[in-house]
Each structure stands twice: as structure tokens, then as C-alpha cells.
Structure 1
């Protein structure tokens, strides 16, 4: 990659040209489209993230049923089990869905407990993926998450502390999935296709959320809330086993990839070097302003996203007074727009890079600005709409649609600047984002416990202010070039 080396040494060239050098030194392969192996990987990862988010969000909608008398068969808990003989008693015990008298603060802690574990395995998952491969780490995390989901009803019956502990374990298992995905993409995604491939996969997060929020409410009313966890967990176990049969660690080990596609992928990624070894340049990472720019922006954006992800069903129930079926439908609608926005943003970002309209840094900052500023504006507007459910749903849909633009901005920027350590550093920056996810639902619970209307207004205002701050910091210090300390020759020295 002589052109890349020359550009990095020329200090008087524009930043856009320096950013583009590693990308444009390779021409796009003619072997593209849905038939390519790399696109197949994007679709498989889409389903994996679909399942992962369906598993994690299921409690957010089920908790509404768990704390309300909404048994599908009208059981109120007044009839003693001893009045039903033999098999009928066993069936009644199976169908009964217990209700829990949990306060808003308790519900916030339960929803936040997932992130207690989720934050602990982000960096570890990225590090292990670099050593042992993203396939094994991601598949193991998804399979274990599915098994733990099956145990949620039993944990809730044992007590609130058991449920909190199980949610933390579920977070530990799911925490390795995203870093492992980035380790895989560092080996599979050519630079000029990086945005669209990764965003097709990432769209599974929001489509999985949409599906869970839509279907979980129906399951709660039709079968009872425990079946949300039985159904989602069972499907997740089946797909976790399929993952190990469908995915290969890199193009060189894939038995059915064409020689032409394999050569294109390998040659387009040759400039970034191989995966990291056991040692990491931790001091250089800690001093990197572009990395801090991504980290702070991720924290601020994830605060808003996780606040809506975990608390929107409660908002729909307490403020707009929707029943479970309406709650699930209206809470899920914004995520359709988010998933479509991810795919569109990836296509447009790659188009701008391929046509040399903007440099890598400019593209990442443009899409980050769109994805952070506009949702903040819509969120500030929500408290002034009143209880007009149509307008509120439109604004939240727009907010969660446009926030997906960050998928072509800060989210992918890790691989632009540190491809060798992308999985590990995604784990680090995601940990800061998960801290936001840990705090946000608890903060919402505390705010709305004091005063419902004022609490939700303050929650929306805080999220908007954080997004604005994160955007300013990222625009000031973000970059699009591979950092010197992240090059393979630097690691050898």
C-alpha cells in the first residue's frame, strides 16, 4: 500500500485526502450483491443481533404485565390450588402468571441490572475475540444468553434478588457479542463496503427490538408473560447452534467463497495488519483523542438510546395510558424506522466515500451530527405535545430513525482508526455506553417517582443535552485515519 504510506507522511495534504488514501487504493470488486459471501455474513449477523436484542428487550415489555393483573384467562389468584385435583392442578400452576408489586424504582433497578453484567464483558469479549476468534466468542455468548432467558420466570418466582442476578448474568453473556462482531468485520469488510455491510448487520438490533415489543405484548395477553421468555429463549438456542454451522472466522477458512472474492477482501484489508496478540498498547490507547471522541459520543448517544429502549413501554403505559397490546405496537414502531435508517445510512456513506465526495473523517462526522443533533431536538419537543399519542409516536419514531445515522458515524469509526484492535476498543467504548445504559433507566425511575409529567420531561431534556455535548466533542477531536500506534509495524517495534 505505497499510496497509503506516502499520504500519511505528507503533512501538507488535506485531511480528507489522507483519510481516503487507504480506502481508495482499492477498487470495488465486481462480485457484489446478495450472492457474495460477505453479504451472507451480514445477513447471518443481522439475525444474531435480532435475537440478541429480542432477548434483552423482552423484559422491558413483560414487566408491564408482571406488575399488572392481566392474566389471559382472568385468573385473579383468589382460587386455592388445592381446589383443583391432579392434572388440572398441574396445568393451572403452569398457566398461572404471578403478579408482582414492584415500585417504579424497583422496576428501574431490574431493567438496569442487565447492564451491570453487560458492561463487565465488553472489553474482555473484544480481547478474547482477538485471541480466539470472533466466531466462537459470539456464538457462545448468544447461546448462553438464550439459555438464561428461559430461566427468567423461575428467577422472578424465587424473588427480586434472583431476577436481578439472572439479568446481570444475561448481560455478562450478551456483552461479548458486539465486540466479537467487530473482530469478524475487521477480517471480512472491505473499506468501501464497510458502512453498508456493518449497518445491515446492526439493523438486526432494532428489528429485533421491534419484533419483541410487538409480539411480547400479544404473548402476554394470549398466553401469559412467562411464555415471552420460553419462546424467545427457545428460538435463540436454536439459532445459536445454527451460527456455528454457518459462519467462518475469515475468508481464508471459508470453504465455499470464490477465489475472486477472497482475493478482493484480503487485498483490500492488507494495509491494516493482522489481529492483535496478547499484548495491547494500553498507554497509547489512553492518550488517543480520536478514541476518546468516539467514547464520549457513544456514552451520550447510548444514554438516549437505552433510555428509550428500556423505558418506552413504561412511558406508553403510564403517560399515554395504552393497554399491553397497544403498548407493544406503538413502542415498537420507532424501531422499524431505526432499522431502515441503519441500512440507508450505510449505503449513502459508502456512496460518498466511493465517489470521493467527502473524506472518511468528514463522512463519520456528518452522519454523527445527523444522528445526534436531530433526535435531541425531537426529544425536547415531546413534553410540549401533551398527550397526543399520534404526534408523540411520530416524534419518537423520527428520533429513533435518525439516531441510526450514527451507525455510519461513530459506531464504525473504530475500524477506521484502529482496525487491529477494533473488537477490544469497541468493547472499551461500548463499556462507557453501557454505563449510560445502566444509569439511564434507574434515573428515569427516580425522576418519574417524584412527579410523572415533570420526571419524563427532565429525562428527555437530560438526554438531549448529553447528545449535544457528545456531538461537539466528537466533531472537535474525531479522526478517520489509522492511528500510528495501531499499525502492525508499530506493534512489532
Structure 2
């Protein structure tokens, strides 16, 4: 067996650690809403021009301009603005992952969430100041959001009993998916009713409120929390004490590079982000080319996969802990099972889109399943680092996240090239290549993946936090 724990009664579902997971869930909802909303408000922010390239200056549009300021940004400028937040996210992954093991998670996440929310409130003002100000805000906001995305994983090193890691992590991370669903549904309505600046004000204000709640409710270590019950505190600490512990020493970079289980996580992350980025960015394009629906229906269809992905993510977490707590499957078998589901199912349903989509309903079903089943990886490769090296989980998560983002960047760029060069057979090439990448990376994960603490990560469990 992968873990041996003395039998003990698990505290009820309404416990502080589940409350923490729900709090992180809503933090992720807001962060993702702030992350995505500009991509949708840009439609209202960009000026429509007449045949001579001059804005229409009717009285109605003058009045509307107060609520919806518009700008003469070229498609090139818009593309730069869209991508700028990505650079802020990617540059923070490894540094923040490393620092999250050394410094207070409470301060890092709370400060980053507040900064991202403050910049969201300032975004309309930055847009008025010009492209340079908006770009600067987006890059800094991306860095703040990247800090939240990566640092939150380290909270579960001290807060998640091994038999509950699946439920707690999937519940918190699924907020990213729910946030995507909400922003796709709500942004258009807010823009039409209240004006696009209100999108940034609403999500910014929600983020500021959540950051204050975070500072009040969260503590880095359950043993220091004044409100947690004694029974829950003892349960968490005794569960985590089953792991070998001593003081953290220097970062074993060479051992990590030589570790095949680490590379298995990296390959799995690469495949996950490769698939996820294709489905996130190109689902509206696929819908437009195959289903020929209007933009309102396209938006609704594009949002549905996020709702299903949110449900699948939470389901995967509960199934993981059920299998482990009942000793039905070994931990490595559970990780392999959900890696297989999360990497093979999207590829399978994508192929079904090509050959079995005979009607509107069948195409919609296969599209939703292809876009949402990848979230089974939430309880597979995406948290596997917590199994093999809990002491270095932050740094390990940062490195593998960057490798995954590189995969997403390559896939999104390559898809654009394929669609531009060969529109007729483009989707066949895109989905076939995705299937090949997923199968190769999955085989590597199945062969070399592990679910027990590695030798280079042992005797390094205690952290010094400032």
C-alpha cells in the first residue's frame, strides 16, 4: 500500500479545511473572471468606424460613450493586449513556487489577490491612458494572478490529510472552471446593461472583499489557527505526521532533473495544457465553422463545457478519496486511472467530433465532452507532485506548470497556423496531433509515474516560514 494510517473518524464535511477549500474556490472564480473578462469586453471597447475610418458621432453614441468608452485599437494591438497577461503569469510560476515554501502563504495569496483586484478596478482608467498603461497593468495583473494560481497548491501541504487531498484540491481548483463559465455568461449582459467598465469594477470589488476574508480566515498552519476545532486540528496533524519529517535543506535540483517521476508529471502537464489550450481558444471557432450559429448561441455553447468540467473536477476528487480511503485501489493506480481518463477521453471525443457528428445535438455533446473531460487530470498528474515531494511541491508545481504552459503556447500557435494554411482538413490534423501527443505523454506517465515520496524528498518535510 502507498500509505498506512491508523483508523480514525474523519470530522464532518462542515469543517474548517473544507471551508478553506470553498474560500479558495471563490478566490479562483474571481481571479479567473478578472483574467478572462478583457477578452470579452474588447468587443465593446473597440471603436466601430465608418468607411473613412472615422467614428460615428451621433447623439446616441455620444451618450453611450460615457458608459462604454471606445478606442481605435488595431487587431495587432488587441492581440498584444490579450497576450500580455500571459507573460505576467508565466514569469511568476517558478519563483513564486519556490518562495511559497519559504514565506507565508497567507501573505502571498492575500496580497496577490488584492493587487489583481485593485488593478481590475484601475483597468478602465488605464485604458483611457493609452495602450502602454493598459499593457503595464495587464502584465502586473498577470504576475499577481500567476502568484495566486501557483501558491495556493502549497496550502494543502499542511492543510490536506492524504486521504482527502483529492476532494480538497479539486474543490478549490474547480473555481477556475466555474469562473470561466460565469464570466462567459455574465460579461455580455453587464456590458449591454451597465457598460463594459462595470465588468472590471464588479469583479475587482469582489476580489478586494475576498482578499480581506482571506487575511482574516486563513492561517499557514492549522496548529496556529484560533478557530479550528481541537479534534479537526489533531486529525490533520496526526495524518500528516505519518510522513517522514525533518528540516528542509537545500533544493535538490540535480535529483529532480534525474527523477523520472518528475518528468512523468512534466509530460502529463504538457499534454494537459496542450489539449486544454486548444479547447479553450478554438471551441468558438469550431462551433462557428461547423454549427453556423449566431454569436449569442456561440457564447452559450462555448460556456457549457466549463460547467461540465467544473462538475467532473469535483466528482473526480470525491472518487479519488473514496477509492483511497476504502483501500479499493492503490494511490498510484488512482493517479494512473484519472490521468488516463483526463488525457484519453478528450482525444477520443475529439475524434468522434470528426466522424460521428451527424447532427447538431451529437456535435454539441461530443464537443462538451471533449472540452470538459480533461479535468479528470485534476486528481491525477496535476496534484501528483504532492505525492512524490510534498516539501518541494511549490517549486515542483511551478516548474511543471511552466512546461505545461509552453505546451499550451505551442498548441495554440500551431492550431492558428494549421487553420490558416489548410482550412478544409485543419480540424482533422489538429485533433489527430492532439491524440498522438496525449497518448505518448500518457504512456510515459503510466510507465514512470510514482505516488510515493521519493528518496531525494525524504527527511525534508518541515518548513521555515517567515
Bigger mean CA offset, 256-265 vs 391-400: 391-400
Residues 424-452 of structure 1: per-residue CA shift (max 9 Å, x gap): 21111111112233334333444434455
Contact 2:47 2:70 in 1 (8 A): no
**Number of aligned positions between the proteins:** 459
* Aligned twin of 2:113: 142
Q: Does 1:42 align with 2:13?
A: no
The correspondence of residues 112-127 of structure 1 with structure 2, limited to 5 A, is 112-127=83-98
Q: 2:235 aligns with which of 248, 254, 264?
A: 264
Bigger mean CA offset, 202-211 vs 384-393: 384-393
Bigger mean CA offset, 280-289 vs 174-183: 174-183
Question: Partners of 2:361 and 2:43 in 1: how far apart?
Answer: 21
* Aligned twin of 1:6: none
Q: Does 1:78 align with 2:56?
A: yes
* Aligned twin of 2:263: 292
What secondary structure sits across from 1:381 in the alignment? helix
* Aligned twin of 2:9: 29
Contact 1:57 1:212 in 2 (8 A): yes
What secondary structure sits across from 1:132 in the alignment? coil
Q: Does 1:212 align with 2:191?
A: no
Structure 1 unaligned spans of 5+: 1-16, 71-75
Shift of 1:367: 0.7
* Aligned twin of 2:343: 372
What secondary structure sits across from 2:70 in the alignment? coil
Shift of 1:69: 5.3
1:465 to 1:107, Cα distance in 2 relative to 1, 3 A: farther
* Aligned twin of 2:453: 482
Residues 101-132 of structure 1: per-residue CA shift (max 9 Å, x gap): 644x7665544332222111112112221111
The correspondence of residues 18-417 of structure 1 with structure 2, limited to 5 A, is 19=2, 22=3, 24-33=4-13, 35-66=14-45, 77-79=55-57, 92-98=64-70, 102-103=74-75, 110-156=81-127, 163-272=134-243, 277=248, 279-316=250-287, 320-384=291-355, 389-417=360-388
Shift of 1:327: 3.1
1:467 to 1:224, Cα distance in 2 relative to 1, 3 A: farther
Question: Partners of 1:199 and 1:283 in 2: how far apart?
Answer: 31
Question: Partners of 1:221 and 1:310 in 2: how far apart?
Answer: 24
1:67 to 1:477, Cα distance in 2 relative to 1, 3 A: farther
Contact 2:245 2:462 in 1 (8 A): no
Shift of 1:392: 3.1
> CA-atom RMSD, angstroms?
3.0
Shift of 1:155: 4.7
* Aligned twin of 1:12: none
Question: Partners of 2:360 and 2:275 in 1: how far apart?
Answer: 20
Contact 2:5 2:242 in 1 (8 A): no
Shift of 1:273: 5.3
Question: Partners of 2:38 and 2:246 in 1: how far apart?
Answer: 36
TM-score by length of 2: 0.89
Question: Partners of 2:237 and 2:143 in 1: how far apart?
Answer: 33
TM-score by length of 1: 0.84
Bigger mean CA offset, 277-286 vs 477-486: 277-286
Question: Partners of 1:110 and 1:468 in 2: how far apart?
Answer: 34
1:457 to 1:141, Cα distance in 2 relative to 1, 3 A: farther
Structure 2 unaligned spans of 5+: none
Question: Partners of 2:66 and 2:258 in 1: how far apart?
Answer: 56
Question: Partners of 2:183 and 2:5 in 1: how far apart?
Answer: 43
1:415 to 1:173, Cα distance in 2 relative to 1, 3 A: same
Question: Partners of 1:108 and 1:382 in 2: how far apart?
Answer: 29
1:354 to 1:262, Cα distance in 2 relative to 1, 3 A: same
Shift of 1:415: 0.8
Question: Partners of 2:113 and 2:171 in 1: how far apart?
Answer: 19
Question: Partners of 2:194 and 2:412 in 1: how far apart?
Answer: 28
1:77 to 1:27, Cα distance in 2 relative to 1, 3 A: farther
Question: Partners of 1:221 and 1:402 in 2: how far apart?
Answer: 33
1:106 to 1:460, Cα distance in 2 relative to 1, 3 A: farther
Shift of 1:488: 2.0
Contact 1:299 1:436 in 2 (8 A): yes
Contact 2:280 2:371 in 1 (8 A): no
1:341 to 1:205, Cα distance in 2 relative to 1, 3 A: same
Bigger mean CA offset, 142-151 vs 318-327: 318-327
